[in-house]
Amino acid sequence: MLNEVKSRLSRIYRGFLSGNKYLIIILFSASAIFAQRTVPNGKELVEKMTAIMTQENSKATMTQTITTSSGKQRTFEFEMFTANEGEKTLMRYLKPSAARGQAFLMLNNADDIWTYFPRTKRIRKLSSSSKNQKVQGSDFSFEDMGSGDSWEKEYNSNNLGSEKYDKTDCWKLESIGIPEQNPSYPKMEVLIRKSDFYPVKIDYFDENNYVEKTLFLDDIKEIEGVPTAMEMTMKNHLKGTETIMQTLTITYDWEPPDNFFSERTLKK
């Protein structure tokens, strides 16, 4: 009698497994598909990152401390205005007195650049190649400061997977320059926080596949609902220099007056 009960239970158990094996397979497949969908591809990562980094408008006051290879430091203070998701940028220096009033206007994502020098009271249009030049001798180029669309236009991007950075879960983005688009850097690698798609570290590679510069984005705070790095450090590994930019004040609730981003505003 006992053996017969065991036999029946065994047949029932086998029948349960047989009848539900397709359900198990379906559930496993669904889980795998869901997991794949939660991993953004390179294009999606770039779109999410640039969306959070390029707000419609902004107005900020910042300091810029440049450290030379010999250890000497220079500190500037400037105000910075952006509009149309970074397509327009105006920078005007406030301190020190020697630089006060000097201003830069960048339009079309830094493809067009004008500069104003108060001593000569003249406005000069810079050449198209100037977007790769240093701003005020710092480790930031004009393109670093004012080019909001280069990621999508000039690079093909791939998600290289997960990586931990300072105990933070990140995606690692690799962006390879498209030669026909004349990218400023042959390659960039970015660590992007999974929580909000905000970048925390960017490596800029040269033509020899060596990391030329690294940008560290620190002290990230939520300003008016927008994650914002209050401190950005650019280190040039080839020249041994460093530039730290600290945000003193910033708002995204700002509307530029009519014709604000113009040569006339540079002189004010």
* CATH assignment at residue 173: 2.50.20.10
Are 229 and 220 in contact, with CB atoms under 8 Å apart? Answer: yes
Dihedral (C-alpha) 57, 185, 237, 131: value to the nearest 10 degrees?
-50
**Predicted pLDDT at 153:** 84
User: 46 and 25 in one domain?
Assistant: no
Cis status of the peptide bond prior to 199, with omega within 30 of 0: no
pLDDT of residue 91: 95
Same domain, 20 and 49: no
What averages of pLDDT result for each successive group of 10 residues across the chain (268 residues)? 49 50 44 58 93 92 95 95 92 94 91 91 86 85 74 90 95 95 91 96 95 96 96 95 97 94 87
| Sign of the torsion formed by the C-alpha atoms of 162, 226, 65 and 255 | positive
Q: What secondary structure, in 3-state letters, does the chain show?
A: CHHHHHHHHHHHHHHHHHHHHHHHHHHHHHHHHHHHHCCCCHHHHHHHHHHHHCCCCEEEEEEEEEECCCCCEEEEEEEEEEECCCCEEEEEEEECCCCCCCEEEEECCCCEEEEEECCCCEEEECCHHHHHCECCCCCCEHHHHHCCCHHHHHEEEEEEEEEEECCEEEEEEEEEECHHHCCCCCEEEEEEECCCCCEEEEEEECCCCCEEEEEEEEEEEEECCEEEEEEEEEEECCCCEEEEEEEEEEECCCCCCCCCCCHHHHCC
Query: 216 and 179 in one domain?
Result: yes
* pLDDT on residue 148: 62
* 56 shares a domain with 188: yes
The model's pTM is: 0.83
For residue 85, report the phi and psi dihedrals to the nearest 5 degrees.
Answer: 55, 45
Q: How far is the C-alpha of 82 from the C-alpha of 57, rounded, in Å?
A: 5
- Residue 82 and residue 33 share a domain: no
Length of the chain: 268
| Contact in structure between 128 and 111 (CB atoms under 8 Å) | yes
Within this chain, do residues 82 and 1 fall inside the same structural domain, yes or no?
Answer: no
What number of other Cβ atoms are within 10 A of residue 82's Cβ?
A: 26
Same domain, 20 and 129: no
How far is Cα 213 from Cα 189, in angstroms, rounded to an integer? 11
Residues 2 and 101 in one domain: no
Domain count, the chain: 2
Q: What is the pLDDT of residue 7?
A: 54
Residues 33 and 140 occupy one common structural domain: no
Residues 81 and 91: their CA atoms lie apart, in Å, by 7
Same domain, 24 and 108: no
Residues 97, 34 within the same domain: no
In this structure, are 6 and 104 located in the same domain?
no
Domain with 13, as residue range(s), is: 1-38
